Amino acid sequence: MNDSQTPIPDNPDSFTAAVKAAYPRMAALLEAHPEINNGHFQSQAAAITMENGSLKSKRKKFFELADVFNKATGKYAVCQKGCAHCCYMPTMIYAHEAEILGQATGIKPAPVPYRDRSVVLADAVRQFGPPCPFLGKDNGCTVYDHRPLICRLHHSLNNNPNDCVVSESGTKAPIAKIDADVIEAPYHALVLRQASREPWGTIQMFFPNR
């Protein structure tokens, strides 16, 4: 969702005292889950990609892997129910994820056409501001069990949740997090290989009238 991040060190032992003090949540997470720095999620994602199953079943497994990632990071993240700064960013989803949301809510997604990713992203940047159409009045996600992959991976290991206040130019402060690309990048590669012209866009594009 946002590119500003504090890179995780190659080795948790290389965490200096200063970095540990600045990012205690990151330090605690890496101490509790050393597998994060040992390629665990990359190898799990690669194994799913190599399976013989259908694209649909592989996607389901990517979501399950994202939930494992979410469980590990969530315990140390500053994110709490009621904090929804990230839900004001353009949330990028595939048509398949829009269908899941449509089935869960009974709202038919709009027929978004396939467009080149660079065109979609240029459009998405202009959509900062309005919240996700599924953000509830209490700032909770109304489609939590059905939320897109990107929502399951997003987190902040900063101390202050307000660092995530976001505008077109980025968040208020660099966000310490585990790089979601360990799961997101192979997920994109899988979809591009097996459904190369599947529409992709912001959640607002798929649900413009909600």
Q: Which of residues 9-68 bind ligand SF4 (CB under 6 A)?
A: none
Stretch of 8-16, 32-40, 118-126, 139-147 contacting ligand SF4, by CB under 6 A: 139-147
Q: How far is the CB of 2 from ligand SF4 (least distance, A)?
A: 13
Nearest to 97, CA basis, from 166, 30, 146, 140: 146
Give the x/- contact pattern for ligand SF4 in 61-100, rule: CB under 6 A.
Answer: --------------------------x---x---------
Q: How far is the CB of 106 from ligand SF4 (least distance, A)?
A: 16
CA distance 138 to 161: 16
Q: How far is the CB of 132 from ligand SF4 (least distance, A)?
A: 3
Asked if residues 152 and 69 have their Cβ atoms less than 8 Å apart, the reply is yes
Asked if residues 68 and 43 have their Cβ atoms less than 8 Å apart, the reply is no
- How far CA 151 is from CA of 34, 37, 80, 92, 94, in Å, comes to 23, 22, 13, 9, 13
In degrees to the nearest 10, what's the CA dihedral of 84, 85, 90, 91? -40
Instruction: Name which of 158 and 202 has its Cβ closer to ligand SF4.
Output: 202
Q: Which of 147, 184, 200, 204 binds ligand SF4 (CB under 6 A)?
A: 147
Instruction: Name which of 27 and 120 has its Cβ closer to ligand SF4.
Output: 120
Stretch of 25-33, 61-69, 143-151, 161-169 contacting ligand SF4, by CB under 6 A: 143-151
Residue 167: beta bridge partners?
A: 170
Amino acid at 1: M
Q: How far is the CB of 177 from ligand SF4 (least distance, A)?
A: 15
Burial of 118 (0-12, 13-18, 19+ CB in 10 A): exposed
Q: Which of 30, 36, 112, 132 binds ligand SF4 (CB under 6 A)?
A: 132
The answer to the question of residue 151 lying near ligand SF4 (CB under 6 A) is: yes
Instruction: Name which of 23 and 63 has its Cβ closer to ligand SF4.
Output: 63
Bridge pairing between strands 175-176 and 5-6: parallel
User: How many of the other CB atoms lie within 10 Å of CB of 130?
Assistant: 11
Q: Which of residues 177-206 bind ligand SF4 (CB under 6 A)?
A: 203
**Residue ranges that bind ligand SF4, judged by CB under 6 A:** 87, 91, 132, 134-135, 141, 143, 147, 151, 203
